[in-house]
Structure 1
Protein backbone atom coordinates (compact mmCIF):
# COMPACT_ATOMS: atom_id res chain seq x y z
CA UNK A 1 0.00 0.00 0.00
CA UNK A 2 1.27 3.45 -0.96
CA UNK A 3 1.58 5.85 1.94
CA UNK A 4 0.43 9.46 1.78
CA UNK A 5 4.08 10.56 1.95
CA UNK A 6 5.01 8.31 -1.00
CA UNK A 7 2.03 9.57 -2.97
CA UNK A 8 3.01 13.19 -2.30
CA UNK A 9 6.64 12.46 -3.29
CA UNK A 10 5.46 10.92 -6.59
CA UNK A 11 3.21 13.91 -7.28
CA UNK A 12 6.14 16.26 -6.65
CA UNK A 13 8.39 14.25 -8.97
CA UNK A 14 5.69 14.18 -11.66
CA UNK A 15 5.20 17.95 -11.34
CA UNK A 16 8.94 18.52 -11.78
CA UNK A 17 9.03 16.27 -14.86
CA UNK A 18 6.01 18.06 -16.34
CA UNK A 19 7.56 21.48 -15.69
CA UNK A 20 10.91 20.33 -17.08
CA UNK A 21 9.23 18.91 -20.18
CA UNK A 22 7.43 22.19 -20.86
CA UNK A 23 10.42 24.45 -20.17
CA UNK A 24 13.00 22.37 -22.05
CA UNK A 25 10.68 22.18 -25.07
CA UNK A 26 9.83 25.88 -25.12
CA UNK A 27 12.95 27.62 -23.76
CA UNK A 28 15.63 24.99 -24.31
CA UNK A 29 17.76 23.12 -21.82
CA UNK A 30 20.54 25.73 -21.59
CA UNK A 31 18.10 28.61 -21.02
CA UNK A 32 16.07 26.82 -18.38
CA UNK A 33 17.08 27.29 -14.77
CA UNK A 34 16.28 25.04 -11.83
CA UNK A 35 14.67 28.11 -10.21
CA UNK A 36 12.25 28.44 -13.15
CA UNK A 37 11.39 24.73 -13.07
CA UNK A 38 10.60 24.74 -9.33
CA UNK A 39 8.54 27.90 -9.79
CA UNK A 40 6.53 26.26 -12.58
CA UNK A 41 6.12 23.04 -10.57
CA UNK A 42 5.22 25.02 -7.44
CA UNK A 43 7.72 23.19 -5.27
CA UNK A 44 10.82 24.19 -3.35
CA UNK A 45 14.40 23.91 -4.54
CA UNK A 46 14.90 21.41 -1.74
CA UNK A 47 12.15 19.25 -3.26
CA UNK A 48 13.90 19.45 -6.64
CA UNK A 49 17.23 18.32 -5.19
CA UNK A 50 15.52 15.59 -3.20
CA UNK A 51 14.38 14.02 -6.48
CA UNK A 52 17.17 15.04 -8.87
CA UNK A 53 20.84 15.75 -8.19
CA UNK A 54 20.94 18.30 -11.03
CA UNK A 55 19.19 19.63 -14.12
CA UNK A 56 20.76 16.95 -16.32
CA UNK A 57 19.16 14.22 -14.19
CA UNK A 58 15.81 15.93 -14.72
CA UNK A 59 16.41 15.94 -18.49
CA UNK A 60 17.04 12.18 -18.35
CA UNK A 61 13.77 11.72 -16.45
CA UNK A 62 11.93 13.91 -18.96
CA UNK A 63 13.27 11.90 -21.91
CA UNK A 64 12.51 8.64 -20.09
CA UNK A 65 8.91 9.76 -19.49
CA UNK A 66 8.55 10.67 -23.19
CA UNK A 67 9.88 7.22 -24.12
CA UNK A 68 7.35 5.59 -21.79
CA UNK A 69 4.46 7.51 -23.39
CA UNK A 70 5.66 6.51 -26.85
CA UNK A 71 6.08 2.90 -25.74
CA UNK A 72 2.45 2.71 -24.55
CA UNK A 73 1.22 3.98 -27.92
CA UNK A 74 3.47 1.57 -29.84
CA UNK A 75 2.35 -1.41 -27.74
CA UNK A 76 -1.31 -0.53 -28.36
CA UNK A 77 -0.64 -0.29 -32.09
CA UNK A 78 1.21 -3.62 -32.10
CA UNK A 79 -1.63 -5.35 -30.25
CA UNK A 80 -4.13 -4.10 -32.83
CA UNK A 81 -1.88 -4.87 -35.79
CA UNK A 82 -0.96 -8.38 -34.63
CA UNK A 83 -4.63 -9.31 -34.94
CA UNK A 84 -5.55 -7.50 -38.11
CA UNK A 85 -2.70 -6.15 -40.21
CA UNK A 86 0.92 -5.63 -41.06
CA UNK A 87 2.70 -5.78 -37.72
CA UNK A 88 6.06 -4.58 -39.04
CA UNK A 89 4.74 -1.48 -40.84
CA UNK A 90 2.34 -0.60 -38.01
CA UNK A 91 5.02 -0.86 -35.32
CA UNK A 92 7.52 1.11 -37.40
CA UNK A 93 5.04 3.90 -38.16
CA UNK A 94 3.96 4.08 -34.51
CA UNK A 95 7.60 4.27 -33.38
CA UNK A 96 8.26 7.19 -35.73
CA UNK A 97 4.99 9.07 -35.21
CA UNK A 98 6.08 11.26 -32.29
CA UNK A 99 9.32 12.21 -34.02
CA UNK A 100 7.42 13.31 -37.11
CA UNK A 101 4.40 14.99 -35.56
CA UNK A 102 5.37 16.26 -32.11
CA UNK A 103 7.67 19.28 -32.34
CA UNK A 104 8.21 19.36 -28.57
CA UNK A 105 9.32 15.72 -28.61
CA UNK A 106 11.79 16.49 -31.43
CA UNK A 107 13.18 19.41 -29.44
CA UNK A 108 13.63 17.22 -26.37
CA UNK A 109 15.45 14.58 -28.43
CA UNK A 110 17.74 17.20 -29.95
CA UNK A 111 18.58 18.62 -26.55
CA UNK A 112 19.14 15.17 -25.07
CA UNK A 113 21.62 14.27 -27.79
CA UNK A 114 23.51 17.50 -27.06
CA UNK A 115 23.52 17.07 -23.26
CA UNK A 116 23.45 13.35 -22.47
CA UNK A 117 26.48 11.19 -23.12
CA UNK A 118 26.34 8.25 -25.50
CA UNK A 119 26.37 5.95 -22.46
CA UNK A 120 23.40 7.76 -20.90
CA UNK A 121 21.45 7.53 -24.16
CA UNK A 122 22.34 3.83 -24.39
CA UNK A 123 20.99 3.30 -20.86
CA UNK A 124 17.68 4.81 -21.98
CA UNK A 125 17.69 2.44 -24.98
CA UNK A 126 18.34 -0.51 -22.69
CA UNK A 127 15.49 0.51 -20.41
CA UNK A 128 12.90 1.39 -23.08
CA UNK A 129 13.64 0.50 -26.68
CA UNK A 130 15.37 -2.87 -26.33
CA UNK A 131 12.52 -4.54 -24.38
CA UNK A 132 9.92 -3.06 -26.72
CA UNK A 133 11.67 -4.12 -29.93
CA UNK A 134 12.43 -7.52 -28.40
CA UNK A 135 8.74 -8.09 -27.64
CA UNK A 136 7.74 -7.07 -31.19
CA UNK A 137 10.33 -9.41 -32.70
CA UNK A 138 9.11 -12.19 -30.38
CA UNK A 139 5.59 -11.63 -31.70
CA UNK A 140 6.88 -11.81 -35.29
CA UNK A 141 8.71 -15.02 -34.42
CA UNK A 142 5.54 -16.43 -32.85
CA UNK A 143 3.61 -15.62 -36.03
CA UNK A 144 6.27 -17.32 -38.14
CA UNK A 145 7.32 -14.03 -39.72
CA UNK A 146 10.87 -14.06 -38.38
CA UNK A 147 13.52 -16.67 -38.91
CA UNK A 148 13.78 -18.80 -35.79
CA UNK A 149 17.53 -19.36 -36.21
CA UNK A 150 18.38 -15.66 -35.90
CA UNK A 151 19.95 -14.73 -32.59
CA UNK A 152 17.27 -12.75 -30.75
CA UNK A 153 19.66 -10.49 -28.85
CA UNK A 154 21.75 -9.59 -31.91
CA UNK A 155 18.65 -9.02 -34.05
CA UNK A 156 17.09 -6.78 -31.42
CA UNK A 157 20.27 -4.72 -30.97
CA UNK A 158 20.63 -4.22 -34.73
CA UNK A 159 16.99 -3.20 -35.24
CA UNK A 160 17.18 -0.77 -32.29
CA UNK A 161 20.34 0.79 -33.75
CA UNK A 162 18.63 1.25 -37.13
CA UNK A 163 15.56 2.77 -35.51
CA UNK A 164 17.67 5.12 -33.41
CA UNK A 165 19.62 6.27 -36.48
CA UNK A 166 16.34 6.89 -38.29
CA UNK A 167 14.95 8.84 -35.33
CA UNK A 168 18.07 11.01 -35.23
CA UNK A 169 17.80 11.74 -38.96
CA UNK A 170 14.08 12.51 -38.74
CA UNK A 171 14.57 14.64 -35.62
CA UNK A 172 17.27 16.76 -37.27
CA UNK A 173 15.30 17.28 -40.48
CA UNK A 174 13.42 20.45 -41.42
CA UNK A 175 10.77 18.16 -42.95
CA UNK A 176 10.47 15.13 -40.63
CA UNK A 177 7.67 13.49 -42.60
CA UNK A 178 9.57 13.63 -45.89
CA UNK A 179 12.75 12.37 -44.20
CA UNK A 180 10.90 9.43 -42.66
CA UNK A 181 9.37 8.66 -46.06
CA UNK A 182 12.93 8.22 -47.37
CA UNK A 183 13.88 5.81 -44.59
CA UNK A 184 10.62 3.85 -44.31
CA UNK A 185 10.94 1.59 -47.38
CA UNK A 186 14.55 0.75 -46.53
CA UNK A 187 13.68 -0.14 -42.94
CA UNK A 188 10.67 -2.20 -43.98
CA UNK A 189 12.70 -4.07 -46.56
CA UNK A 190 15.46 -4.79 -44.05
CA UNK A 191 13.11 -5.99 -41.29
CA UNK A 192 11.12 -8.09 -43.75
CA UNK A 193 14.36 -9.65 -44.98
CA UNK A 194 14.56 -11.25 -41.53
CA UNK A 195 11.37 -13.16 -42.26
CA UNK A 196 11.38 -16.88 -42.77
CA UNK A 197 11.42 -18.29 -46.27
Structure 2
Protein backbone atom coordinates (compact mmCIF):
# COMPACT_ATOMS: atom_id res chain seq x y z
CA UNK A 1 0.00 0.00 0.00
CA UNK A 2 1.40 3.37 -1.01
CA UNK A 3 2.11 5.91 1.69
CA UNK A 4 0.26 9.20 1.62
CA UNK A 5 2.07 12.50 1.16
CA UNK A 6 1.28 13.36 4.78
CA UNK A 7 2.86 10.09 5.98
CA UNK A 8 5.99 10.70 3.88
CA UNK A 9 6.32 14.25 5.25
CA UNK A 10 5.92 12.99 8.80
CA UNK A 11 8.49 10.24 8.24
CA UNK A 12 11.02 12.73 6.82
CA UNK A 13 10.43 15.06 9.74
CA UNK A 14 10.82 12.19 12.23
CA UNK A 15 14.08 11.05 10.58
CA UNK A 16 15.52 14.57 10.72
CA UNK A 17 14.57 15.01 14.38
CA UNK A 18 16.08 11.62 15.26
CA UNK A 19 19.29 12.45 13.38
CA UNK A 20 19.47 15.89 14.99
CA UNK A 21 18.90 14.44 18.41
CA UNK A 22 21.65 11.87 17.96
CA UNK A 23 24.13 14.42 16.56
CA UNK A 24 23.39 17.11 19.15
CA UNK A 25 23.72 14.59 21.98
CA UNK A 26 26.99 13.17 20.66
CA UNK A 27 28.74 16.28 19.34
CA UNK A 28 26.79 19.24 20.65
CA UNK A 29 24.93 21.79 18.58
CA UNK A 30 27.95 23.81 17.43
CA UNK A 31 29.91 20.78 16.20
CA UNK A 32 26.99 19.10 14.43
CA UNK A 33 27.20 19.50 10.66
CA UNK A 34 23.92 19.81 8.80
CA UNK A 35 25.42 17.98 5.82
CA UNK A 36 26.57 15.03 7.94
CA UNK A 37 23.31 15.00 9.84
CA UNK A 38 21.14 14.84 6.71
CA UNK A 39 23.46 12.43 4.85
CA UNK A 40 23.29 9.98 7.77
CA UNK A 41 19.56 9.56 7.16
CA UNK A 42 19.72 9.74 3.36
CA UNK A 43 18.22 13.22 3.08
CA UNK A 44 19.41 16.56 1.75
CA UNK A 45 20.09 19.85 3.44
CA UNK A 46 17.08 21.12 1.48
CA UNK A 47 14.83 18.72 3.38
CA UNK A 48 16.09 20.15 6.66
CA UNK A 49 15.47 23.72 5.48
CA UNK A 50 12.01 22.78 4.20
CA UNK A 51 10.89 21.24 7.49
CA UNK A 52 12.72 23.33 10.08
CA UNK A 53 14.06 26.45 8.37
CA UNK A 54 17.60 25.89 9.65
CA UNK A 55 19.68 24.04 12.22
CA UNK A 56 18.28 26.23 15.00
CA UNK A 57 14.73 25.19 14.02
CA UNK A 58 15.81 21.55 14.17
CA UNK A 59 17.27 22.08 17.65
CA UNK A 60 13.97 23.57 18.75
CA UNK A 61 12.08 20.52 17.40
CA UNK A 62 14.51 18.16 19.16
CA UNK A 63 14.06 20.01 22.45
CA UNK A 64 10.28 19.88 22.08
CA UNK A 65 10.47 16.11 21.60
CA UNK A 66 12.72 15.64 24.63
CA UNK A 67 10.53 17.98 26.68
CA UNK A 68 7.43 15.90 25.86
CA UNK A 69 9.25 12.76 26.99
CA UNK A 70 10.34 14.48 30.20
CA UNK A 71 6.74 15.53 30.87
CA UNK A 72 5.49 11.96 30.44
CA UNK A 73 8.12 10.70 32.89
CA UNK A 74 7.32 13.46 35.41
CA UNK A 75 3.56 12.82 35.26
CA UNK A 76 4.18 9.13 35.92
CA UNK A 77 6.25 10.04 39.01
CA UNK A 78 3.48 12.31 40.26
CA UNK A 79 0.81 9.62 39.76
CA UNK A 80 2.82 7.08 41.75
CA UNK A 81 3.07 9.30 44.84
CA UNK A 82 1.05 8.61 47.97
CA UNK A 83 -0.28 12.18 48.13
CA UNK A 84 -0.60 15.32 46.03
CA UNK A 85 2.09 16.99 48.13
CA UNK A 86 4.53 14.09 47.79
CA UNK A 87 3.83 13.99 44.05
CA UNK A 88 4.69 17.68 43.78
CA UNK A 89 7.95 17.22 45.70
CA UNK A 90 8.89 14.03 43.81
CA UNK A 91 8.22 15.65 40.43
CA UNK A 92 10.28 18.72 41.29
CA UNK A 93 13.20 16.60 42.47
CA UNK A 94 12.98 14.35 39.42
CA UNK A 95 13.11 17.38 37.13
CA UNK A 96 16.32 18.55 38.80
CA UNK A 97 17.75 15.01 38.63
CA UNK A 98 17.15 14.96 34.87
CA UNK A 99 19.74 17.75 34.60
CA UNK A 100 22.50 15.17 35.02
CA UNK A 101 21.23 12.89 32.23
CA UNK A 102 23.72 13.48 29.40
CA UNK A 103 21.20 14.06 26.59
CA UNK A 104 19.01 16.43 28.60
CA UNK A 105 22.04 18.16 30.08
CA UNK A 106 23.70 18.86 26.75
CA UNK A 107 20.75 19.49 24.42
CA UNK A 108 18.09 21.03 26.64
CA UNK A 109 20.03 22.76 29.41
CA UNK A 110 23.35 23.77 27.81
CA UNK A 111 22.91 24.11 24.03
CA UNK A 112 19.22 25.05 24.16
CA UNK A 113 19.65 28.27 26.17
CA UNK A 114 22.86 29.16 24.30
CA UNK A 115 21.09 28.93 20.92
CA UNK A 116 17.40 29.60 21.65
CA UNK A 117 17.72 32.04 24.54
CA UNK A 118 16.13 32.11 27.98
CA UNK A 119 14.29 28.80 28.63
CA UNK A 120 11.78 30.65 30.81
CA UNK A 121 10.45 32.10 27.53
CA UNK A 122 10.06 28.73 25.78
CA UNK A 123 6.50 27.59 25.09
CA UNK A 124 7.01 24.45 27.19
CA UNK A 125 7.43 26.60 30.30
CA UNK A 126 3.85 27.81 30.04
CA UNK A 127 2.64 24.20 30.24
CA UNK A 128 4.85 23.65 33.31
CA UNK A 129 3.44 26.72 35.02
CA UNK A 130 -0.14 25.66 34.24
CA UNK A 131 0.56 22.21 35.68
CA UNK A 132 2.07 23.68 38.85
CA UNK A 133 -0.89 26.05 39.23
CA UNK A 134 -3.31 23.12 39.01
CA UNK A 135 -1.29 21.19 41.60
CA UNK A 136 -1.14 24.15 44.01
CA UNK A 137 -4.89 24.74 43.63
CA UNK A 138 -5.47 21.10 44.56
CA UNK A 139 -3.11 21.39 47.53
CA UNK A 140 -4.93 24.52 48.72
CA UNK A 141 -8.34 22.87 48.38
CA UNK A 142 -7.01 19.85 50.32
CA UNK A 143 -5.87 22.22 53.08
CA UNK A 144 -2.24 21.14 52.71
CA UNK A 145 -0.68 24.49 51.87
CA UNK A 146 -1.23 28.05 53.05
CA UNK A 147 -3.46 30.45 51.20
CA UNK A 148 -1.03 31.79 48.57
CA UNK A 149 -1.41 33.60 45.28
CA UNK A 150 -1.38 30.59 42.96
CA UNK A 151 0.08 32.05 39.75
CA UNK A 152 2.87 33.99 41.46
CA UNK A 153 3.80 30.99 43.60
CA UNK A 154 3.75 28.67 40.58
CA UNK A 155 6.03 31.00 38.63
CA UNK A 156 8.44 31.27 41.56
CA UNK A 157 8.58 27.50 42.07
CA UNK A 158 9.02 26.81 38.36
CA UNK A 159 11.72 29.46 38.17
CA UNK A 160 13.50 27.84 41.10
CA UNK A 161 13.54 24.36 39.57
CA UNK A 162 14.51 25.64 36.11
CA UNK A 163 17.32 27.76 37.52
CA UNK A 164 18.50 24.82 39.62
CA UNK A 165 18.48 22.51 36.59
CA UNK A 166 20.53 25.01 34.56
CA UNK A 167 23.00 25.35 37.44
CA UNK A 168 23.30 21.59 37.90
CA UNK A 169 23.84 20.98 34.17
CA UNK A 170 26.60 23.58 33.93
CA UNK A 171 28.36 22.89 37.23
CA UNK A 172 31.74 21.15 37.30
CA UNK A 173 30.36 18.88 40.04
CA UNK A 174 26.75 18.33 38.98
CA UNK A 175 26.02 15.67 41.60
CA UNK A 176 27.11 18.02 44.38
CA UNK A 177 25.02 20.84 42.92
CA UNK A 178 22.05 18.46 42.59
CA UNK A 179 22.23 17.46 46.25
CA UNK A 180 22.39 21.10 47.34
CA UNK A 181 19.52 22.07 45.03
CA UNK A 182 17.24 19.27 46.24
CA UNK A 183 17.85 20.13 49.89
CA UNK A 184 17.24 23.85 49.28
CA UNK A 185 14.13 23.24 47.17
CA UNK A 186 12.51 20.96 49.74
CA UNK A 187 13.22 23.51 52.50
CA UNK A 188 11.74 26.26 50.35
CA UNK A 189 8.66 24.24 49.39
CA UNK A 190 8.04 23.14 52.98
CA UNK A 191 7.50 26.81 53.78
CA UNK A 192 4.18 26.54 51.92
CA UNK A 193 2.81 23.86 54.24
CA UNK A 194 0.18 24.69 56.84
CA UNK A 195 1.46 23.96 60.33
Report 1:12-91 matches (<5 A): 12-83=12-83, 86-91=86-91
**Closer, same or farther: CA 133–15 of 1 in aligned 2, 3 Å:** farther
Aligned pairs, number: 192
Q: CA deviation at 1:49?
A: 1.6
Matched, 1:184 2:175: no
Partner of 1:141: 140
Distance 1:40 1:146 in 2: 52
Q: CA deviation at 1:31?
A: 1.4
- Please provide the CA RMSD for this pair: 2.2
**Structure 2 unmatched runs, 5+:** none
**Structure 1 unmatched runs, 5+:** none
- Give runs of ≥4 in structure 1 deviating > 4 Å: 82-85
Q: CA deviation at 1:97?
A: 2.6
Q: CA deviation at 1:75?
A: 0.4
- Contact 1:130 1:156 (8 Å CA) reproduced: yes
- Contact 1:71 1:132 (8 Å CA) reproduced: no
